[in-house]
Amino acid sequence: AESKPKIAGGGIFSVSSPTISNNLITGNSISGPQEYLFGGGVYLNATTTASPVITHNSITGNRAITGTT
C-alpha cells in the first residue's frame, strides 16, 4: 500500500477485486490540501494481485481537485 498522505475514491474506493457493473458514476469529487488525490470517480488499489471487473458503467464528470480545503 502507498504511504503518501492522500485522499482517494470520490465515487468508489476499493482495495480488493470488485465487480462493478451497470452503474452511473457521475458528479463525484474529492478535494483537499493533500498533494496526492486519486480517483475522483473510481479508485482501485489492492495490496496483492487483484482482478477487478468493470463493465457497462457510465463514468463521467468526476474530479480530483488538489490544493483546496
Each residue's pLDDT tens digit, 19-50:
999 999 999 998 887 778 888 899 888 888 88
pLDDT (0 to 100) of residue 47: 80
Reply yes or no on whether the pLDDT at 16 is more than 80.
yes
pLDDT (0 to 100) of residue 32: 80
What's the rounded mean pLDDT across residues 49-65? 93
Q: CA 53: distance to chain centroid?
A: 14
Centre a 10 Å sphere on the Cβ of residue 64 and count the other Cβ atoms it contains: 22
How far is Cα 37 from Cα 65, in angstroms, rounded to an integer? 7
